[in-house]
Structure 1
Amino acid sequence: MTHTRDVSKAGYRFLPGVFQYSAGVAALPGFRIERVRFADPVPMTEGWGRIAAWLEAMGRPRSAFCACELRSPAPFTEDGFRQFNNSYSAVLRDWGILLEDGANPVARSNVCPELAPPAEPGFHAFCYTVPDPQAAPAFVVAGSGEAAEGHANYRDHIVALGDTSPDGMRRKARWVLGEMERRMAALGGDWAGTTATQLYTVFDIHPFLAEEIVARGAARHGLIWHHCRPPVTGLDYEMDCRRVMLERVLAG
């Protein structure tokens, strides 16, 4: 199992992932994680500004930014995804969040609404740390589609590539659920501790919903199903999950 790394000044630890995001974060003792969701997706440049303003208003440094959820117009090509990730990571570098060795500690999900998509990539939600001596444990697991990350491409590693039959989707779901469990275990969590589980697919999950998702405890508080596609062409199923005790919605 991969070990986590502490970002002590920011109040969280992270599970190393790929250059564009970590596999998940957990609050360090003495800190809690809060989540803020925008009522509607906010374009990236405006979103960075609004997040910075929110953190300042909360008396938190930009380094407290520890996770985010993005919305994009449509799945990227492999090259397009790399270009987007380079631009995204550049802001984290400017904010002083990337570590000295280049590691990216921020967890992330990025999905594409099938209907009424945004005109450009933007923020759906973000998380940050707040000092709290009495805080309960908290974590945010980054989104994962049905392919191992860290390879030269996604396509060659997609589970049941192109198979959106009930059996194919079940295989994809099993792989992603296992990855969620691997990440949670490394962060000290499990399904019993989650406060929310999110699923992203445009295909039918009902043939395996009870046996694969509900039975293993992944829907203990229900399941938030977003009619979205994962961010890279060829992927069909994605999930993320979290244990966050305080969440807000920002309108306008």
Structure 2
Amino acid sequence: MEKSVEKVDKWCPGPTKNRILGIFAKQPVPGRVKTRLCPPLTPEQAADLYQVCLQETVTRMQSLVGCELAICYSGDKDWFAATFPGITLVPQRGSDLGARLAQCLSDWLTAGYGAAVLIGSDAPDLPLERIEQAFSALETADLVHGPALDGGYYLVGETTHHAQLFQNISWSTDEVLAQSLAKATQLGLRSVLLEPWDDLDDLPALLRLVTRTPHSSTAIHITRVLNHSPDTVIDSLT
């Protein structure tokens, strides 16, 4: 396991306005990613879809200027290093999702970054402007969230770490954002909400992405998969 001091040294802010963007990601192992899409997808199809989403998310975020990019990974480091060469890799640490999110943000802000933002890997067509808006918001606010349509959030960012924001949250429910905002209010934090966006957690969300950005890599992949299982799709929609 890497020593904390080595990670902190690696994360020393460079010439990027002291901003860092982390992509939270899992290794796409069947049965461990996008399980809420099974059915209608098989575990193998869900894992393939997740990998396409992750690849498109990373590729698009690499085009951003003014912030450093890292992948906060869960799984085999060698797989991530081979798939995303040259990108800083940070192992997720913690007993639950909240602890893992908190640890990444805490480490970066302690290392000297002025603003740290985390996004997931299941919003591959998220407008790049949302990332820029998040960092702009953090110039005057303490906290920023990007609300997901399912009651969670697709983005969270801080300028000073507050571990309480990630504790005792009902993760993977529609209460995540509401509970997080309530904690922010209790702590007296200046909080900003971005415009909502979709997570790819169910079939309707997949179809909305195909309609919204039909030429994206993820949309093309979804269309190909769903066209090979029309009966399953129809049954899922009725």
Per the normalisation by structure 1, the TM-score is 0.28
Task: Return the structure number with greater relative CO, CA threshold 8 A, min gap 6.
Answer: 1
Per the normalisation by structure 2, the TM-score is 0.29
Structure number with the higher helix fraction is 2
Structure number with the higher strand fraction is 1
